[in-house]
Amino acid sequence: MSQDLPPVAPAVTAELVAALSPRLRKRLDAGIAKLADRPAVRDGDTVRISLDDDTDLELHAPDGTVTSPDAIRCGCLLAPDCLHRAAAASAAPIADDTNSEAAEGGSGQSSATAQTPTGPGTAGTAQKAAGQEAADAGQKAAGQETSGAGQKMAEPETADARQCGAAHALHSAAAAVLEAGADGAGAVLQAELLRAAHTARLAGLHRAAASAVSVVTALRAARAADPAYRLADLAAGLRDVLSVAHRVPHATGAELAALRGTARQPYRPDGSLRLYGLFSEPVLTASGYAGAVTWTADAQGRLYQVSDVAPGGAGRAVGAADRAVRLGDTALTHRQLSRAGLAVSGATVSPTGRLGAGAGVRAVGASGAGWREEPLDRLWTVPVAEQLTRALNGGHDLLFLEVTLLGTATEAAGDCLLAGCEDVVLRLTAAHDHPALPHRDNLRLLAAARGARLRIVARLTPAPLPRARLLATEHPARSGTRVDVGLDRLQRADLPTAPASLVRAAPNTEEAPVHLLSRRVQQAVSGGRRVLSFPGTASADARRLHRAGLATAGALLEELHAAAAERSRDVFGRLLPSDPERFARSWLAAARYTEEVDRALCAAAWPG
């Protein structure tokens, strides 16, 4: 995906790909790769790509987004039926249908109009809040509908034919993507999923549509070897799309309202606020958005976010912290606000705590507070068990912990920082792996300060062992100094000189082997049905799950492999096409099971 191109609406990409002949569809992925090597030049609202000395491809984005197929013009002889227009649309970032600025990463989004995040680390926190709000509204509406004289409760609302049709189309498109896996889901399958997402949004299925778009952006990141790509995020997106599409035709009342979701996060007036900066974190998403988010808290410990997220790449993520926050008249940068304070009048706030930046909002800089001073100190006095319950049940997923650094441990995904937290050993990992961001370098340097007792802010990662992504920490050698792990670079000279010890955590023989199932779930997302279709690959793992008392997990694993391997033959002995619907149902059952087991094991692993 090229960050030099303007975002293109999903419906535009779907229409241009659908218009290609079968011969050109087969060449689409190669055409995208060739287009990526061509320079793009921006001239006002137009981005021009030179295909050769005499032929240009132009994308017109008057409002920053390409919203019509006619806005992509090609000068080649085959235009408008050429491959170039569809290739350009497929290579560009995906525009959000409802909001001009979208972001992922669980970091609170653009201060005025950001979309619910569905990206790495959040477990859909803001999306859950939006869904819960819709569920509450649906429950209230269903409970208050009565017939005049008899006060008879009305029948619960059900999905209409249009929504059922959109859900079926979305399920089929997502099942086709799962069948092919990230390795085989090229631009044509991505366009089919975008078309289904657009249809779902028009039918009012906003949650499923947003998840489908996030799946396409993750697929593009996977195929481009983008450092922002995480297989777990792609699996979570597919799980949500298939879950919602499966349940919509059968849901009623509050459940249906939650499954539909909302098009926009509503902002409510919240009067005057006195906020204290906590930390800032960079945002760099697979969907082509970047920036920074600053987290703040009021005197009662409620969290609010001020953000600046817009189309861009790693350079914007690195530089956004030194831009002035877009809120009222304040001249504070995000980096300054994370250590200072803010006085806001006429504030508007979304259900997830994002501060609006409307014309009536006034804000000026104010004094801040240290992490060990009131009112911020109270965030670290909340019991860990209470913080964990909040994060696992739809609240924000930030953890405010006091830890003792222990060293490092080697894992398959790289080294992680070990820290003692009450009676457990916590694994702290990098919140982002992009080399332009200092997360991993800072983790490596912090290991030199083993024995230091520090306050940290981390984002929970549901897993069988205590795990979180480190976002901010006290400086191990400078009292009263904070470090935003994704923005500030620690210097080796400022840290203790003792070498970091490599701590190898002994394997826990009592650990439930649920990973035998979750590994297959993720393998299917990466390689598609065919990687699970080989005979004899499930029996040993299934027996081990049964011996561990996980009979359901064993049965799900056997059914997943059986669905992957099932191929019928016609009367001439020729293989018939596989059944992607059965494989999708089997995969979804396994994915939902592992999600719930991970949540349960996570809750049990932490102290409390």
Q: In whole angstroms, what is the distance from residue 287 CA to residue 312 CA?
A: 10
SS3 568: coil
Q: Which residue is listed with tokens 């929504």?
A: 163
User: Is residue 79 within 8 Å of 94, Cβ to Cβ?
Assistant: no
Q: How far is CA 557 from CA 13, 515, 541, in A?
A: 36, 11, 8
CA atoms within 13 A on the CB side of 416: 21
Assigned CATH for 382-494: 2.40.50.1010
Domain spanning 268-366 has what CATH number?
2.40.50
Q: How many angstroms separate the Cα of 260 from the Cα of each of 234, 284, 320?
A: 21, 27, 34
What pLDDT does 125 receive? Answer: 36
What are the tens digits of pLDDT across the range 321-358? Answer: 899 888 888 889 999 999 999 999 988 898 888 998 88
* E strands present in 226-288: 268-284
Nearest in space to 121 (alpha carbons), one of 458, 526, 558: 458
Residue 206 CB partners (closer than 8 Å, separation 6+): 98, 200, 260, 261, 262, 263
Burial class, 184, CB count within 10 angstroms (exposed 0-12 / middle 13-18 / buried 19+)? middle
Q: What is the pLDDT of residues 231-281, one digit of tens each?
A: 988 999 999 999 999 999 999 999 999 999 887 777 888 889 999 999 999
How far is 71 from 315, CA to CA, in rounded Å? Answer: 28
CA quadruple 161, 214, 577, 18: dihedral sign = positive
Closest by CA to 36, choosing from 94, 95, 91, 93, is 91
Dig out the tokens for 79 from the structure.
């235009």
Q: Taking the C-alpha atoms of 168, 172, 174 and 176 in order, what is their torsion angle to the nearest 10 degrees?
A: 180
How far is it, in rounded angstroms, from Cα 406 to Cα 453?
10
Size (the chain), residues? 608
CA 15 to chain centre: 26
Half-sphere exposure at residue 133, Cβ-oriented, CA atoms within 13 angstroms: 19
Q: How far apart are CA 506 and CA 91, in angstroms?
A: 45
- The CA-based angle 231-233-236, given to 5 degrees, is 110
- Taking the alpha carbons at both ends of the chain, their separation in whole angstroms is 45
CA dist 88 and 84 (Å) reads 6
Other beta carbons within 10 Å of 24: 17
For CA atoms 227, 231, 235, 238, the dihedral sign is positive
What whole-number distance in Å separates Cα of residue 264 and Cα of residue 266?
A: 6
Cα dihedral across residues 501, 507, 513, 517: positive or negative: positive
Mean pLDDT by 10 residues, the chain (608 residues): 80 94 93 87 90 90 90 92 93 71 34 32 36 38 40 72 96 95 94 95 94 93 84 93 95 92 81 94 82 94 90 85 86 92 90 85 91 95 92 90 90 83 91 90 90 94 90 91 93 67 44 84 93 78 89 93 82 76 94 92 83
* Same fold flag, 268-366 and 382-494: yes
What pLDDT shows up at residue 112? 29
Could you give the 3-state DSSP secondary structure of residue 143? helix
Q: Report the distance separating Cα 318 and Cα 502, nearest Å.
A: 30
Token readout for 511 is 């650990």
pLDDT value at position 383? 93
* 135 phi/psi in degrees, rounded to 5: -65, -40
Q: What are the residue boundaries of the structural domains of the chain, listed by start?
A: 10-91, 125-146+157-260, 268-366, 382-494, 515-605
Q: Which amino acid is at 456?
A: I
What is the token pair recorded at 199?
Answer: 């249809």
Quote the CA–CA distance of 249 and 265 in Å, as a whole number.
25
- Cβ-based neighbours of 510, under 8 Å, separated by 6 or more: none
What letter would DSSP give residue 66?
A: B
Among 90, 91, 249, 269, which Cα is nearest to 159's? 249
Residues 465-486 as b/e (b if ≥16 CB within 10 A, e otherwise) read: bbbbbbbbbbbbeeeeebbbbb
3-class SS at 68? coil
Helix, strand, coil % (nearest 5) of the chain?
40, 20, 40
Q: Nearest CA to 586 among 539, 524, 496, 526?
A: 524
